[in-house]
Structure 1
Amino acid sequence: MKIKTYIAIMCASLLVAGCSLDFDETNGDTKETAYSYYDNLEKLVAYVYGFLPTDLDRNNGAMMESATDNSIYSWEQNTIYDIGNNVWSPIKTIDTGWDYFDAIRSANSFLENFDIEVLNKFEYNDDYEEIMAKATLFPYEVRFLRAFYIFELAKRYGNIPLLLRTYEPEEINFVEPSSFDAVVDFIVTECDQIIADNGLPVDHRDYRGDTGRATKGAVLALKSRALLYAASRLHNPSGDPAKWEKAAKAAAAVIAMNKYSLPKVGSDPLYMGDNNLFNSPQLIFERRDGARTSTFEARNEPMGYEGSKGGNTPTQNLVDAFEMKNGTPFDWDNAEHVRNMYVDELGNPTRDPRLYLNVLYNGATWLKQRVETNVGGLHTGMEGATKTGYYLRKHMNAQVSLNPVSPLGKEHHFPLFRYAEILLNYAEAMYHWVGEDTKPTDYPYSAREALNLVRDCADMKHVEETGNAFLEKLRNERRIELAFEDHRFWDIRRWKTGEVVKNIYGVRITGTDTNFTYSKVLVRQNQWDDKMYLFPFPQEELYMNENLVQNPDW
């Protein structure tokens, strides 16, 4: 049985469990048994994999994008609104990120108890060479996952306890936090060591069966992301160029693998919402979910479709970020832009093609039915209907059926690292280090060249701006390319641009098919407080550990 299968059933096979930082327990098997058989070892590793995040099933359906200016959730009872309403707090947290300490504890337990030599007793088994080859990778996979989870905590809380071993109950509540920079230094060192040891392959031998397992590319991608965050304004207020240089070099290492490529967006399985995501040539690492479900579609299909709930609805803020097809920014003061908001009079697309892969707009087709978000349209005017005039397209699987007579579910996988992010990481780091057009020796591209490689995949005009205008283009490219992939929420924080989330706009569409009128309307006003750049530590953790220091102003 493959790792991916164990991930899907991990909750039924835990050998390491628990929900807090202060102890480790087993389900009754002895530690000796747990670490003496390959199948048990594989389950233990799968359990650590099982903490990998997906934004498709978080916050009771609300994606983190719906706490940004890219989307709002149709149902205001959802806790995602606590962020925009500024009513979250140390005693009313909105995220389960603290649970990553459980994953870290399980990883530490595995690393302390794993001994590959115990498998030598199976040397006469037919599959001995295969299981030994895979088991050799286990500690490196777990070290990578531990580093990944440590970063997930650090990007939320900043300074965190860096727990690299298991702790006894009497000592865990005295651990002291490490600085964000120290945490990133550990992640980088760990990634470097895994690479130096040649600990993980470029590809796993059983490509399809082992899809979802960590690779060399995933390790380098984590290093790239961690160093990008460390170089950004939130953690680098002085703009130290040395930090940007490190981030650029880390992204360049992924590029230098010559493993990944960017297909045209219309042919990239990553955009299509089906379960072939892992066939995308730019996919580096993903959270696999082998369960065949229709929950995501039920939560996000337009109201009026059978079994649908509206869900995460893109905003006009996001739609405006998609340029016209010729590369000019969309302009509400341009009558032609507004008249041809999505298509021209002949039905030809008028915008960046990525708009149509992210957003269902008035007049779009979904499941052979025309989407109507105009006033009086089929998919408006009911509880849960879009307030913005749009519904979500990205990640939606058109093969799913919500018909109760003949329901059909599909697998839903979530990209965690992909090549477009790496190129955008690289472009941003290069810009802040040496500007938009300089390409130092041994670096593959200038910032401009890397940015335009991403735009080439959408057949969009190359960026010609310079200085701050170039940076704005770069940030906008990241916004639209990585929309609904759990980046925007964190990018706003590391850039310290929180004010952008305040005013959320939609579109009011009146008239008929032959003569629609579009008006930009304010649909929501969020609150913003600079303390939100970091999450609050849960109050109960502060009570238990006086060495933890609450983040500013919480």
Structure 2
Amino acid sequence: MKKIYVLLTCAGFLAAGCNKSLLDTTPHDRYTEETFWQTPEAANAGLVGCYSVLRNAGVYGGKTSNNATALWEETLTPNAYNQTDALSFNTIARGTQMSSTGGIVTGRYSDCYSGIGRCNTFLAKVDEVTALDDATRRKMKGEAYFLRGLYYFMLQNYYGAVPLILDPPDKTAQAKLPRTPREEVVAQVLVDLDSAANILPVKFTGADLGRATKGAAMALKARVLLYEASPLLNPANDVAKWKAAADAAKAVMNLAGSGYGIYKDYRALFLQENENNLEVIFDVQYVFPKQGSSFDLICSQYNTNAPLLDLAKTYYTTKGLPITDPASGYDPANPYKDRDPRLNATFTYPGDTYKGAVINATRFAITGYGMKKFSLYDKEAPPKDKSDLKDGQSDINFIVLRFADILMMYAEAQNEVSGPDATIFAALNRIRDRVGMPHFNEAVDKNALREEIRHERRVEFAGEGLYYSDIRRWKTAETVMNATIQNYAGKNLETRTFDKNRDYWWPIPLGERDVNPNLEQNTGY
């Protein structure tokens, strides 16, 4: 009987084997590459995945309670200090980074490629979603092109030449790729941004706010071209490159239907209740508690994003003159009185009122200053429902591109093309008008105006993470970063160094070269 039972059992299995459906090994508890790209919802999820990398620590960061990459970028400059060396930002500021340095050096490289891989996969697979209408598919491709361009722009801006990969991730085919010349990477970035601009709508509304638009692609193109025209990458001062940058910025200024302009209140521009206003061209979206940022926490602390005395001294008086000018009206005994309003709108200082209390020298003990841009905190005591945010998170968006930057890009590039002209001063004075500062002196030559524009960029965008790229592209980092940084009272904190033969580029991370020896290292590492 036992033998018969075994035979019958075997026969049953053989009969079942004739059922082809039982040979289907596709899992039903998770998606695979073959089953995912089937519905419009899946396509949208794939695109959201391309966006989500923007919040990673290596890109703009901020989605965890101890991570504020976008704000810490400022600490790589004379503007601010990262005393704890979070994500190795202070290691870079001191000029002691190596290929084995972790934190941002490793994270930026890997996270940007993570975003690129997702964009490449999306672009390769979205056509398989037959239920997606052509107009929607086209628009979504435009967003992916923009994001891929942004990730590659960031990579080449910090590391120089990097492998250019336009296909979905494939370890076999891509593991040993060498670095592509930086100029070829930039050329592809411009192709992607032009493709995006030709596809995307001028603006999104409703639930689609925050997605890349035609204006975002055009604005990022202007930034790319401005960097390419600057001294670091344009040592021969090819005026044609400056003209291309000026024309690209002007195209954004003239973009029909965009509605771009200067928001009325400089401090309020960075508050949550005014997000997606007319000045914002592209930002990284945060929504608490689903995907909040740590910006409020970082700004309330005193040691990871602390403004420095050099930044405070940079702001002019309300007469439009530097504090070193005897005619400025600067009072050393009352140093924050009658200064450019952007100082108080950007950071706190001893004697200022912050979160309902007067600031003393120990409130922000490292430098005496505390950053408040991209924080909801200001003079008023926080409401009880926001005084102790869960896990230190908030949901203020981080602005990547705004219209004031376009005006500044145009002014800088056009000055290099033609020298001072009426269009330059018109653009610059729109920015000054918002904060009630005097207009620019028009009786200046090209060289003097260049220095004024660079000063204005530093003040207007302080705390926004742009100054590090500015001092590198201007090739002034070797001067301003070889200095001793000081707190509000002039006490020395540390001495920084910058090797002009090495530090304009970050090292290719050691771990990347361990798995791919074809990646040549940057000079000096």
Per the alignment, residue 495 of structure 2 pairs with 525
Secondary structure at 1:140 match in 2: helix
Per the alignment, residue 13 of structure 2 pairs with none
Per the alignment, residue 449 of structure 1 pairs with 426
Per the alignment, residue 235 of structure 2 pairs with 237
**Superposition pairs of residues 97-112 of structure 1, within 5 angstroms:** 97-98=108-109, 99-112=111-124
Amino acid at match of 2:409: N
Deviation for aligned residue 1:341: 1.3
Per the alignment, residue 299 of structure 2 pairs with 300
Could you report, residue by residue, the CA deviation over 1:150-189 in whole angstroms, capped at 9, with x for unpaired residues? 1010101111111111253222133232222222222222
Deviation for aligned residue 1:394: 0.9
Per the alignment, residue 332 of structure 2 pairs with 338
Per the alignment, residue 538 of structure 1 pairs with 509
**Superposition pairs of residues 419-458 of structure 1, within 5 angstroms:** 419-437=403-421, 446-458=423-435
Per the alignment, residue 18 of structure 2 pairs with none
Give every structure 1 segment of 4 or more consecutive aligned residues whose post-TM-superposition deviation is greater than 6 Å: 332-335, 405-408
Could you report, residue by residue, the CA deviation over 1:3-35 in whole angstroms, capped at 9, with x for unpaired residues? xxxxxxxxxxxxxxxxxxxxxxx9941334311
- Whole-Å separation in 1 of the counterparts to 2:181 and 2:80: 32
**Superposition pairs of residues 237-316 of structure 1, within 5 angstroms:** 237-258=235-256, 259=258, 260-266=260-266, 269-271=268-270, 273-278=271-276, 280-292=277-289, 295-301=294-300, 308-316=301-309
- Whole-Å separation in 2 of the counterparts to 1:225 and 1:77: 28
- Whole-Å separation in 1 of the counterparts to 2:389 and 2:299: 20
Could you report, residue by residue, the CA deviation over 1:423-453 in whole angstroms, capped at 9, with x for unpaired residues? 111111111122122xxxxxxx633332222
Secondary structure at 2:234 match in 1: coil
Amino acid at match of 2:510: Q
Amino acid at match of 2:480: V
Amino acid at match of 2:227: Y
Contact 1:45–1:142 (Cα < 8 Å) also in 2: yes
Gaps of 5+ in 1: 1-25, 121-130, 302-307, 344-349, 380-384, 438-444, 509-519
Amino acid at match of 1:269: A
**Superposition pairs of residues 373-412 of structure 1, within 5 angstroms:** 373=361, 379=363, 385-398=364-377, 399=382, 410-412=394-396
- Whole-Å separation in 2 of the counterparts to 1:108 and 1:78: 28
Contact 1:74–1:386 (Cα < 8 Å) also in 2: no
Distance 1:195 1:505, change over 3 A: same
Per the alignment, residue 447 of structure 2 pairs with 468
Contact 1:38–1:135 (Cα < 8 Å) also in 2: no
Per the alignment, residue 45 of structure 2 pairs with 43
- Whole-Å separation in 2 of the counterparts to 1:77 and 1:195: 37
Amino acid at match of 1:503: T
Which sits farther off after the overlay, 111-120 or 320-329?
Answer: 111-120
- Whole-Å separation in 1 of the counterparts to 2:432 and 2:418: 21
Gaps of 5+ in 2: 1-27
Distance 1:471 1:27, change over 3 A: farther
Per the alignment, residue 147 of structure 1 pairs with 149
Higher helix share: 2
Secondary structure at 2:233 match in 1: coil
Deviation for aligned residue 1:505: 2.4
Distance 1:201 1:364, change over 3 A: same
Could you report, residue by residue, the CA deviation over 1:65-114 in whole angstroms, capped at 9, with x for unpaired residues? 11210011243576222113333211114411112111111111111111
Which sits farther off after the overlay, 181-190 or 26-35?
Answer: 26-35
Secondary structure at 2:131 match in 1: helix
Contact 1:319–1:355 (Cα < 8 Å) also in 2: yes
- Whole-Å separation in 1 of the counterparts to 2:140 and 2:210: 14
Contact 2:193–2:218 (Cα < 8 Å) also in 1: yes
- Whole-Å separation in 2 of the counterparts to 1:290 and 1:355: 28
Contact 1:294–1:400 (Cα < 8 Å) also in 2: no
Per the alignment, residue 516 of structure 1 pairs with none
Secondary structure at 2:368 match in 1: coil
Deviation for aligned residue 1:372: 1.3
Secondary structure at 1:285 match in 2: strand
Deviation for aligned residue 1:264: 3.0
- Whole-Å separation in 2 of the counterparts to 1:111 and 1:405: 38
- Whole-Å separation in 2 of the counterparts to 1:457 and 1:448: 14
Distance 1:114 1:404, change over 3 A: closer
Deviation for aligned residue 1:54: 2.5
1:169 equivalent to 2:140? Answer: no
Distance 1:191 1:300, change over 3 A: closer
Distance 1:287 1:403, change over 3 A: closer
Per the alignment, residue 507 of structure 1 pairs with 488
Deviation for aligned residue 1:477: 0.7
1:118 equivalent to 2:118? Answer: no
TM-score normalized with structure 2 length: 0.83
Per the alignment, residue 67 of structure 1 pairs with 76
Per the alignment, residue 553 of structure 1 pairs with 524
1:486 equivalent to 2:473? Answer: no
Distance 1:319 1:41, change over 3 A: same
Distance 1:29 1:56, change over 3 A: closer
Q: Kindly, what percent of the aligned residue pairs are identical?
A: 30
Secondary structure at 1:356 match in 2: helix
- Whole-Å separation in 2 of the counterparts to 1:56 and 1:103: 16
Contact 1:61–1:311 (Cα < 8 Å) also in 2: no
Amino acid at match of 2:108: G
- Whole-Å separation in 2 of the counterparts to 1:74 and 1:167: 38
Amino acid at match of 1:489: Y
**Superposition pairs of residues 75-114 of structure 1, within 5 angstroms:** 75=84, 79-95=88-104, 96-98=107-109, 99-114=111-126
1:327 equivalent to 2:336? Answer: no
Secondary structure at 1:416 match in 2: strand
Contact 1:55–1:485 (Cα < 8 Å) also in 2: no
RMSD of aligned alpha carbons: 2.7
Amino acid at match of 2:249: A
- Whole-Å separation in 2 of the counterparts to 1:336 and 1:30: 66
Secondary structure at 1:524 match in 2: strand
Amino acid at match of 1:529: D
- Whole-Å separation in 1 of the counterparts to 2:392 and 2:427: 41
1:362 equivalent to 2:350? Answer: yes
Secondary structure at 2:218 match in 1: helix
Deviation for aligned residue 1:335: 7.9
Larger radius of gyration, structure 1 or 2? 2
Contact 1:56–1:414 (Cα < 8 Å) also in 2: no
Structure 2 residue corresponding to 1:353, chosen from 341, 346, 369: 341
Contact 1:181–1:230 (Cα < 8 Å) also in 2: no
Structure 2 residue corresponding to 1:318, chosen from 308, 311, 315: 311
Contact 1:70–1:314 (Cα < 8 Å) also in 2: yes
Could you report, residue by residue, the CA deviation over 1:193-249 in whole angstroms, capped at 9, with x for unpaired residues? 3333xx111112xx2311110100001011001111111111111111111111111
Deviation for aligned residue 1:133: 4.9
